[in-house]
Chain A
Amino acid sequence: MNTTLPGKSYQTYFRKIGQYGIVVAFFAICLTLALISPKFLTVQNLMIIVTQVSINALLAFGVTFVIITGGIDLSIGSIVAVVGVVAATFAHPDTYPVIVPIGAGLLTGILFGAVNGFVITRSNVPPFIVTLGTMTIGRGLALILSKGRPVSNLSDTFNFLGGGKIFGVPTLILILIIAFIVCTIILRKTVSGRYMYAVGGNEQASRASGIQVPRVKMLVYVLAGGLAALAGILLTSRISTGQPNAGAGIELDAIAAAIIGGTSTSGGTGTMTGTLVGALLIGVISNGLDLLNVSSYYQQVVMGVIIVGAVVLDSMNQKRN
């Protein structure tokens, strides 16, 4: 019949993002906060938000890849801790050039991801169980490597990575932007990205289409591990300490950002834009509640309501379509 070629109307664009409602909610909340609190819409405050959001967003990008293939990765929080300890160990002043802690950190994260991917693709054990295991292992390793103590006294160059500014813009924000662009390209433009959606949408059909499903799964866990490592290095740099207890529970914030952003836990759908908006929404709300002097105890309750509310709204939307 009438074959419209790839339409790029705003409507299809937003439907693709899949969280029309979330984008609106995000701006509505920003507007409200701007009206209530004069401090909200200051450059300084917005910088604070994005800096706080960036670590979570990096983790959320990684876990978005995983969730799109129908998997889950609970180990990313522990990876942040192990990588932090490893990087910090090599980042003392006047020891190694800064590339060494960065390289060692990234390698550690990628290795963790590869182990996750290997066990998941070679056995029939669900990703939830496998990564629950590596989460615990990672936490233990972080404590072993650091002997349970924070690793501090880090070089200035290393501390610049997550704490510095380039032309007045915090490095964290720059890295977040670059990571977002790269992840979006991987997901939207590459063959591998397409295969991720295919595997999450229908694994059997993917196999019958000649897709090497194990390879795709391996890739997403390695990506998640690598991004968690990046987050771990930046966090360690920003707080100038390798904390073996860092990032506890942070994986759930990342998963929450992805889910609020419209990634379906049953696989096959999700976008990086959605995940970014999800992470920003979490950041803006906790910042806003801080500005309004709401206790952090209440903040957690609010966050929980938002997670479930976002998914309920999304599924109601889908039913209507």
Chain B
Amino acid sequence: MIGTAHAVSLGISRFSSMLQTPILSVTSLSKSFSGVRALNNVHLNVRKGEVHALMGENGAGKSTFMKILIGLLTPDSGEIVFDGEPLKTSNVGEVLKRGISMIHQELLTVPELTVAQNIFLGKETKRGLFGWVDEKSLNQQATELLNHLGVQIRPETPMKYLSVAEMQLVDIAKALSNEAKVIIMDEPTSALSDKEVATLFGIIRDLQQKGVAIIYISHKLDEIFTLADTITVLRDGQFIATKPANEFTPNSLISMMVGRELGSLFPEIHTTLGKEVLAVSGLSQPGKFSNINFAVHAGEVLGIAGLMGAGRTEVARALFGLDPYEQGEIRINGQLTEIRSPQDAIRHGIGFVGEDRKASGFIPGLSVKHNITLASLPTFAKRGIVAEKSESTAATKTVRDLNIKIAGLDQQVTHLSGGNQQKVVIGKVLLSAPALVILDEPTRGIDVGAKAEIYKLINRLTANGIAIILISSELPELLGLSNRIVVLAKGNQTAVLSTDEATPETIMHHAMQVVGD
């Protein structure tokens, strides 16, 4: 599948673009943060109309690089030539005006303003004596831009009513309104459904046709091989290589990114299961999910598959007491149990790692140590006073067990890479000694190396008799780790598949099934 998509992307655009001088040319770029080299002598040449993938593990320097390109950071040394002239960085306004735009992973939009107001924020058309904003012309221009992209969004709609995918398209329209010649896309598909991804890819191809170059950052290899003409690999802030995409295979690309050969990504699934840890029957919450039935056993990984909006996260949140459920029974170790709050869940041995690390995972102001012990702090305390020694010992052990890379226990979690942040959150959950751990998208936005470590960790937990509920949008991950897979579609449970039955096709079939008639 990857092979054919990849062959298709070898379009004519590549051959014509090969002949041109680059629109963006970066030479010997370096940047350090308080003595630590984040980028060292990095090069990049982007040609008109090409999709240029920038690959590297988290911490490889991609974000720093992009922040320099869009003027948020000043490089220590190096040269950037854009469209034939040197680019003065460290000036966001100038960079935008020259024609470099970025679609951020966390979309930067103003929810209360309309689509048109967002697109033209900072460059409104003014009219009349007092310079009133000409809303009519803004809406008209916005409609033109959106039509140009082939999307149907009314420019008067407040931004907050749009889906993530639509917001992203508005962001792209905004980039076009700046007459961007280079658009940087950082993990643009992380919150999109398959259909929306297809639309986005169509738009990217269209932009390519019009000569816009795309710098594309993603951890999803199939996307890279579908879209990219050229791939540049960074590792530990070093420039590793730039080559046409067809000279890479997924394996060669990964080994270049991590600097070593990866063994099989997924460890072997344990097949000897213990007793039932959790069983839910008839679990329902109107408008979110209805009649969910499954059981998880000690040492088992139960996967939950489904499209965006299928109700996977909602079920997980209800099991952990973060959201209510109206009907149904939850049995823990055979005992009928009410879970009405996270305290209830933790008391009954359930741990939860949410899908959004930043929003519900870690506390930014607290240190690594304090984050790790947060959920089990009372166990380190005598009469309400924290015993710092035993707290440090436990945190040190967690750091060692999960191989978390930190400068020290007192380091703030904010400064860690995504993979290490995720490990801190998982470490926190594990420290309260759960019998069941719910992992919601545990590898979202983290690099291949860290993913492999998380997989190994899941395997180790099940070997120790812990039950896992794994929610993931990445089918290979679900297939590679789960003993059984529950499929949800629009809040309904449409299948429970065994390892033998589960294939990408059967899962998608059930995930798109319409229930109710």
Task: Report yes or no: A3 in contact with B410, Cβ–Cβ below 8 A.
Answer: no
A209 touches B366 (CB 8 A): no
Pair A208/B354 contact, Cβ less than 8 Å: yes
A260 to chain B, nearest CB (A): 19
Spot the interface stretch: B144-152, B370-378, B443-451.
B370-378
Q: Any chain A CB within 8 A of the CB of B335?
A: no
How far is B361's CA from A117's CA once the two chains are assembled, in angstroms?
Answer: 26
Q: Is A202 an interface residue (CB 8 A)?
A: yes
Query: Per-position contact with B for A246-288: 1 when CB-CB < 8 Å, else 0?
Result: 0000000000000000000000110000000000000000000
Contact of B385 (CB < 8 Å), options: A12, A190, A200: A190
- Tell whether B384 is near chain A: CB-to-CB under 8 Å: yes
Q: Mark B366-408, 1 if CB is under 8 A from A, else 0.
A: 1001100011011001001110100010001001100001111
CB distance from A2 to the nearest CB of B (A): 7
CB distance from A188 to the nearest CB of B (A): 9
Specify which chain A residues have a CB less than 8 angstroms from the CB of B322 in the assembled complex: 207-208
User: Are A194 and B374 neighbours in the complex by a CB distance under 8 Å?
Assistant: yes
Taking a contact as CB atoms under 8 Å apart, the answer to whether B399 and A198 are in contact is no
Instruction: Name the B residues within 8 Å of A210 (CB-CB).
Output: 342-343, 345-346, 375, 432
Q: Separation in Å of the B429 CB from the closest CB of chain A? A: 9
Judge whether A24 is part of the interface by a CB distance below 8 angstroms: no
CB <8 Å contact, B365 and A269: yes
Q: Which of B320, B364, B388 is the one whose CB lies under 8 Å from A201?
A: B364
Shortest Cβ distance from B174 into chain A, in angstroms? Answer: 26
Q: For the complex, what is the distance from the CA of A190 to the CA of B343, rounded to whole Å?
A: 19
> Is A189 located at the chain interface by the 8 A CB criterion?
yes
Contacts of A205 in B (CB 8 A): 359-363
State whether B408 touches A208 (Cβ < 8 A): no
User: Which residue, A12, A204, A269, has most C-beta atoms of chain B within 10 A?
Assistant: A204
B197 at the interface (CB under 8 A from A): no
B37 to chain A, nearest CB (A): 15
Produce 1/0 per residue, A204-238, CB < 8 A to B: 11111111100000000000000000000000000
Chain A minimum-CB-distance residue to B359 = A204
A 107-155 contacts with B by CB, 8 A = none
Among B361, B365, B386, B388, max chain A CB count under 10 A is at B365
CB contacts under 8 Å to B, within A145-202, are 185, 189-192, 194-195, 197-198, 200-202
| Residue B216 CB within 8 A of the other chain | no
Given contact pairs A2-B407, A204-B360, A205-B360, A192 touches B384 in the complex (Cβ within 8 A) = yes
Q: Is the CB–CB distance between A191 and B386 below 8 Å?
A: yes
Near A by CB (< 8 A), chain B positions 336-362 give 342-343, 345-346, 352, 354, 359-362
Smallest CB-CB separation from B362: which chain A residue?
A: A205
A contacts with B, residue count (CB < 8 A): 32
Asked if A6 is at the interface of the complex by the 8 Å CB criterion, the answer is yes
CB distance from A292 to the nearest CB of B (A): 39
Q: Using CB atoms, name the residue of chain A closest to B389.
A: A6
> Quick check: is A293 within 8 A (CB to CB) of the other chain?
no
The answer to whether A208 touches B366, judged by C-beta atoms less than 8 angstroms apart, is no
CB distance from B261 to the nearest CB of A (A): 22
Complexed CA–CA distance, A62 and B405 (Å) = 38
Nearest residue in B to A269 (C-beta to C-beta)?
B365
Residues of A within 8 A of B354 (CB): 208
Interface size in chain B (residues, C-beta < 8 A): 40
Q: Evaluate contact between A194 and B406: CB separation under 8 angstroms.
A: no
Closest CB-CB distance, B359 to chain A, in whole Å? Answer: 6
> Is B34 located at the chain interface by the 8 A CB criterion?
yes
A208 B385 Cβ-Cβ under 8 A? no
Which of B374, B400, B409, B410 touches A209 (beta carbons < 8 Å)? B374
- Tell me the nearest residue of chain B to A200, going by C-beta: B365
The reply to whether B342 and A3 form a contact with Cβ atoms under 8 Å apart is no
Residue B428 CB within 8 A of the other chain? yes
User: In the complex, are the beta carbons of B346 and A5 less than 8 A apart?
Assistant: no
Q: Which of B370, B384, B399, B407 contacts A190 (CB 8 A)?
A: B384
Contact B410 A6 (CB under 8 A): yes
Whole-angstrom distance between the Cβ of B425 and the nearest chain A Cβ: 8
Contact B360 A6 (CB under 8 A): no
Q: Name the distance in Å between B363's Cβ and chain A's nearest Cβ.
A: 4
Q: How far is the CB of B313 from chain A (nearest CB, A)?
A: 13
Q: A208 with B396: in contact, given A189-B386, A190-B384, A198-B363 (CB under 8 Å)? A: no
Q: Which residues of the partner chain A approach B410 to less than 8 Å between Cβ atoms?
A: 4, 6-7, 12
**Contact present for B369 and A191 (CB under 8 Å):** no
Q: Give the shortest distance, in Å, between B53 (CB) and chain A (any CB).
A: 29
The answer to whether B342 and A208 have CB atoms under 8 Å apart is yes
Question: Are B365 and A197 interface neighbours, CB within 8 A?
Answer: yes
Chain B residues contacting A1 (CB-CB under 8 Å) are 405-407
- Distance between Cα atoms of A225 and B346 in the complex (Å): 32
Q: Which residue in chain B gives the minimum CB-CB distance to A270?
A: B365
Q: Answer yes or no: A321 CB below 8 A from chain B CBs.
A: yes
Report B265 CB to chain A, min CB distance, Å: 24
In the complex, are the beta carbons of A202 and B409 less than 8 A apart? no
| The one of B374, B388, B405 that contacts A6, using a Cβ cutoff of 8 Å | B388
Query: Which A residues lie within 8 Å of B364 (CB)?
Result: 201-202, 268
In the assembly, what is the distance between CA of A7 and CA of B409, in Å? 9
Min CB distance, A42 to chain B, in Å?
A: 40
Q: What are 24 contact pairs spanning A and B, CB under 8 A?
A: A2-B408, A3-B399, A3-B408, A6-B409, A189-B385, A190-B381, A190-B384, A191-B381, A192-B384, A194-B366, A194-B377, A198-B370, A201-B364, A201-B366, A202-B359, A205-B363, A207-B360, A208-B322, A208-B354, A208-B361, A209-B342, A211-B374, A212-B343, A268-B365
Additional A-B contacts beyond A1-B407, A202-B363, A268-B364 (10; CB < 8 A): A3-B406, A12-B410, A189-B385, A194-B386, A197-B363, A197-B365, A202-B360, A205-B360, A209-B428, A269-B365
